[in-house]
Amino acid sequence: MGTAGKVIKCKAAVLWEQKQPFSIEEIEVAPPKTKEVRIKILATGICRTDDHVIKGTMVSKFPVIVGHEATGIVESIGEGVTTVQPGDKVIPLFLPQCRECNACRNPDGNLCIRSDITGRGVLADGTTRFTCKGKPVYHFMNTSTFTEYTVVDESSVAKIDDAAPPEKVCLIGCGFSTGYGAAVKTGKVKPGSTCIVFGLGGVGLSVIMGCKSAGASRIIGIDLNKDKFEKAMAVGATECISPKDSTKPISEVLSEMTGNNVGYTFEVIGRLETMIDALASCHMNYGTSVVVGAPPSAKMLTYDPMLLFTGRTWKGCVFGGLKSRDDVPKLVTEFLAKKFDLDQLITHVLPFKKINEGFELLNSGQSIRTVLTF
């Protein structure tokens, strides 16, 4: 492309500080350095994690460009890049895969050492590629997708099938894969089993889709908001209940409903109390409980160790335990083969300039996923 090697001026949604709306600004995006890739963003999803930065519950430097769930086209590449080329359709990866660290080399690992979960806000060489009004603007989780152009390290990008619709497969960059992988990869749900999903937002619905794909015979969705039940049933839940409907602890309710045979539970909210409830709700001896919802930072959990002593397994996962560069292209191919339906998760599609409206939909509970298009 004619822009290769040059600074690109484009529009981006900049967060200048916490608890402020996004400001659409003209920014400069520097060319990619060695082992870096510059991407033209086509579509990007609004995820609760982005909102954590606005609210201040997730560490970040400011000013920053957030966004981490997207589809784009490679505009140009830096020296030494071999896995993508200009014109490739790609998904940026908030969870990199360097293929060299211990987690990447272990078949069960995926939390690559290059992940930026501490809010460093820079690329591998320690600098940023964004400038606005003469000031450096920081990156977010190796991705920064609320901009027309972004720059990522080669370890943070996956080439996908060119036929993939960008406004749908962007969800494979975070929300869908996190839930689906939690069921099929981390939980390893077995056919014929009973699964319980706490929290029926976009990721919770994706867990249900994963349980269904794995052959679970009974999938019970749990949420305080009964408006979410219809969508949960549509994607594969066999029944839904609200904890408010009984005075008994939810673990007792579920034990009675299932004849004490819950194989797997998934906590997809990020609340300490529901993490314990989910653990207590799986079978005391052979049950597995998976923590999928990001826990609140700097909070400690107190629980009865007898819950584990009897034989339960308690697990966590990031990005559904998936290896990002390996598994994202496979999931896109499965989507194109109609193995799962992402339309169920997308409630709103808005132009990029309406990003603040998209976050209002998230915070008012009206949306599951809002996708912004460029």
- Asked if residue 25 lies in contact with residue 46, where contact means CB atoms within 8 angstroms, the answer is no
Confidence category of residue 154, pLDDT binned at 50, 70, 90: very high
CA–CA dist 201, 368 (Å, integer): 6
Beta bridge partners of 373: 43, 351
CA–CA dist 344, 355 (Å, integer): 21
Confidence category of residue 59, pLDDT binned at 50, 70, 90: confident
Beta bridge partners of 222: 198, 241
pLDDT score, position 362 = 93
The amino acid at 96: P
Domains of the chain by start residue, with CATH: 192-294+301-318 (3.40.50.720), 341-373 (no CATH)
Written as six digits, the tokens of 217 are: 């015979």
CA–CA dist 205, 176 (Å, integer): 8
| Share of residues in the chain with pLDDT > 90 (%) | 93
Give the mean model confidence (pLDDT) for residues 295-305: 83
> Does the pLDDT at position 283 exceed 70?
yes
Give the mean model confidence (pLDDT) for residues 159-171: 98
- Asked if residue 193 lies in contact with residue 216, where contact means CB atoms within 8 angstroms, the answer is yes
pLDDT, tens digit, for every residue of 345-371? Answer: 999 999 999 999 999 999 998 899 999
Of the two residues 197 and 293, the one the predictor is more confident about is 197
Phi–psi pair at 261, nearest 5 degrees: -140, 45
CA–CA dist 240, 96 (Å, integer): 35
Give which of 224, 175, 166, 169 is closest to 200, Cα–Cα.
224
Q: What is the pTM of this model?
A: 0.95
Confidence category of residue 296, pLDDT binned at 50, 70, 90: confident
pLDDT score, position 96 = 98
The answer for residues whose C-beta is within 8 angstroms of residue 322's C-beta and 6 or more apart is 110, 177, 181, 185, 328, 331
Written as six digits, the tokens of 166 are: 């960008």
Give which of 2, 69, 85, 1 is closest to 37, Cα–Cα.
85
- Asked if residue 38 lies in contact with residue 75, where contact means CB atoms within 8 angstroms, the answer is yes
- Asked if residue 328 lies in contact with residue 155, where contact means CB atoms within 8 angstroms, the answer is no
pLDDT score, position 253 = 97
pLDDT, tens digit, for every residue of 306-346? Answer: 999 999 999 999 999 999 999 999 999 999 999 999 999 99
Specify whether the backbone of 61 is left (phi greater than 0), alpha (psi in -120 to 50) or beta. beta
SS3 222: strand
Give the mean model confidence (pLDDT) for residues 202-230: 97
CA–CA dist 113, 102 (Å, integer): 8
- Asked if residue 95 lies in contact with residue 36, where contact means CB atoms within 8 angstroms, the answer is no
| Share of residues in the chain with pLDDT > 70 (%) | 99
DSSP string, 253-284: HHHHHHTS---EEEE-S--HHHHHHHHHHS-T
CA–CA dist 274, 257 (Å, integer): 19
